[in-house]
């Protein structure tokens, strides 16, 4: 590296303070063994010189390994959505491993708040320097975020945000706009009645869902497009519950033109429509799951909205790396593109 640039390191600080490099090092990492007087003197020089540590050298010399943790949903039989973020996380891991980064994995069950709390508790017992979190459960996540905050552990959120909560960054979809775009796409398929059904299939009413529906409804109000919106919550995610609920609502509202599913479980609705031969109803939902793609290709699903989940995992972990290792600034919010997948372009999609 060039020397002519006016850059001062520990050596210069030591020289000016008439102490050794080791003493300067002790002050910088505020370890014990330095008198108040020299500590003050060194700190003054550090401030005067606006000393910026060389992170390259620092990481190289450090024998300490940095431990990161990820706390995300387990890949379940119900939905393989979380395969993609995990893939991205592992890709990031293999890239940064050689710089002394170790990553611990904690998985919770999306149908079980307790499992989240349990895994969070386990995680907090370890000495981790950063956490990648999918804050699926609002209240529980808030508590966890609070705990991390007191331990000064930076947090990166993926997939869904937790507004108002202190974090390093959020990497994921703009939920409101995703709902908005969904509504837009849906209008392409509307004909006469302008009557649509919003379906939320989830054990927990989460933040994601609320924002998405808000955006969805906003589109119609924004565009002054009158549209009757029927909505149901299906709290049990098994096939029978979905079938029963949909049978009931379709019986009540015979003139439904389209269905919007607020998460990746759109395949469950597609399966129902196929069985009940209601292929006249348009269907739109989220995420590039194998099952969803199948129904997309069969023509039962019209559109899928995707947010590059693998990249979310990759970027989330890399954000922590950037912050902790390189000391580089991290952008607070990074919205993923709102990708629109149809039968025609799905083959080329990079999930």
Partner DNA sequence: AACGAGCTCGGGTACGTACCCGTAAATATA
Partner DNA sequence: TATATTTACGGGTACGTACCCGAGCTCGTT
What is the chain's length?
A: 351
CA-CA distance, 42 to 48, in Å (whole number)? 10
Nearer to DNA, 31 or 254 (CB): 31
Q: Which is nearer to a second copy, 61 or 240 (CB)?
A: 61
CB 241 within 8 A of CB 234: yes
Beta bridge partners of 112: none
107 in the Ramachandran plot: left (φ > 0), alpha (ψ -120 to 50) or beta?
Answer: beta
Question: Of these partners, a second copy, DNA, none, which one is at the site of residue 337 (CB under 5 to 8 Å by kind)?
Answer: a second copy
> Alpha-carbon distance 100 to 97, whole Å?
6
CA distance 148 to 216: 34
Pair of tokens at residue 225 = 């497009």
- What SS3 state is found at 228? strand
> Of 28, 75, 229, 250, which one interacts with DNA (CB under 7 A)?
28
15 sits in which H/E element: helix 10-17
Pick the binder of DNA from 4, 30, 37, 139 (CB under 7 A).
37
Find the binding residues for DNA in span 46-85 (CB under 7 A).
53-54, 57-58, 60-64
150 binds DNA (CB under 7 A): no
Taking contact as CB under 8 A, which single stretch among the options 99-107, 112-120, 200-208, 272-280 is the one that binds a second copy? 99-107
Range 25-44, binding a second copy (CB under 8 A)? none
Cα-to-chain-centroid distance, residue 121: 20
E strand or H helix at 170: strand 169-172
97 binds, among DNA, a second copy, none (CB under 5 to 8 A by kind): a second copy
Q: Residue 326: which of DNA, a second copy, none does it interact with, CB under 5 to 8 A by kind?
A: a second copy
Query: Residue 104 and residue 90: Cα distance in Å, rounded?
Result: 11
Here's the x/- map for a second copy, 54-83, by CB under 8 A: it reads as: x-xx-xx-xxxx------------------
Determine the interface stretch with DNA among 7-15, 109-117, 208-216, 259-267 (rule: CB under 7 A). 7-15
Q: In terms of DSSP bridges, do strands 282-286 and 303-306 run parallel, antiparallel, or are they unpaired?
A: parallel
Of the candidate residues 15, 38, 105, 177, the single one contacting DNA (CB under 7 A): 38
Helical H runs in 126-206? 138-150, 175-189
State in angstroms the smallest separation of the CB of 105 from a second copy: 17
Size of the site for DNA (CB under 7 A): 34
Report the nearest approach of a second copy to the CB of residue 85 (Å): 16
In the list DNA, a second copy, none, the entry touching 23 (Cβ below 5 to 8 angstroms by class) is: DNA
CB of 190 to a second copy, least distance (A): 14
Query: Hey, is 70 helix, strand or coil?
Result: strand
Residue 53 backbone dihedrals phi, psi, to 5 degrees:
-60, 145
Q: Which of 215, 213, 191, 202 is nearest to 281 (CA)?
A: 191
Strand order in the sheet with 130-133: 101-108, 66-73, 130-133, 155-158, 169-172, 333-335
Q: Which is nearer to a second copy, 7 or 126 (CB)?
A: 7
From candidates 95, 112, 118, 140, binder to a second copy by CB under 8 A: 95
Residue ranges in contact with DNA by CB under 7 A: 1, 3, 7, 9-11, 14, 18-23, 25-26, 28-29, 32-39, 53-54, 57-58, 60-64
Residue ranges in contact with a second copy by CB under 8 A: 1-2, 5, 7, 52, 54, 56-57, 59-60, 62-65, 95, 97-100, 102, 311, 318, 326, 328-329, 331, 335, 337
């Amino acid at each position: 590296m060039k020397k002519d640039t006016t850059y001062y390191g520990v050596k210069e600080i030591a020289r000016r303070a008439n102490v050794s490099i080791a003493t300067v090092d002790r002050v910088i990492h505020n370890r014990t063994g330095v008198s108040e007087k020299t500590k003050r003197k060194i700190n003054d020089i550090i401030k005067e010189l606006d000393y910026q540590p060389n992170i390259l050298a620092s990481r190289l010399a450090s024998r300490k390994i940095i431990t990161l943790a990820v706390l995300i949903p387990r890949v379940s039989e119900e939905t393989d959505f979380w395969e993609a973020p995990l893939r991205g996380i592992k890709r990031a891991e293999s890239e940064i491993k050689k710089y002394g980064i170790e990553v611990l994995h904690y998985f919770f069950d999306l149908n079980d708040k307790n499992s989240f709390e349990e895994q969070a508790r386990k995680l907090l017992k370890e000495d981790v320097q950063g956490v990648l979190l999918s804050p699926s459960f609002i209240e529980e996540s808030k508590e966890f975020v609070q705990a991390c905050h007191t331990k000064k552990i930076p947090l990166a959120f993926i997939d869904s945000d937790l507004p108002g909560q202190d974090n390093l960054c959020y990497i994921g979809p703009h939920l409101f706009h995703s709902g908005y775009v969904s509504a837009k796409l849906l209008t392409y398929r509307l004909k006469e009645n302008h009557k649509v059904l919003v379906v939320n299939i989830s054990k927990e009413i989460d933040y994601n869902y609320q924002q998405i529906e808000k955006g969805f409804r906003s589109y119609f109000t924004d565009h002054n497009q009158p549209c009757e919106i029927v909505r149901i919550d299906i709290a049990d995610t098994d096939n029978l519950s979905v079938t029963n609920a949909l049978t009931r609502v379709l019986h009540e509202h015979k003139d439904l033109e389209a269905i919007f599913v607020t998460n990746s479980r759109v395949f469950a609705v597609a399966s129902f429509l196929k069985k009940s031969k209601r292929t006249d109803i348009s269907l739109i939902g989220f995420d590039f799951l194998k099952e969803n793609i199948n129904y997309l290709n069969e023509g039962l699903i019209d559109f899928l909205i995707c947010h590059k989940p693998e990249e979310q995992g990759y970027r989330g972990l890399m954000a922590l790396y950037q912050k902790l290792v390189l000391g580089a600034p991290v952008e607070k919010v990074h919205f993923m593109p709102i990708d629109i997948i149809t039968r025609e372009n799905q083959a080329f999609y990079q999930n």
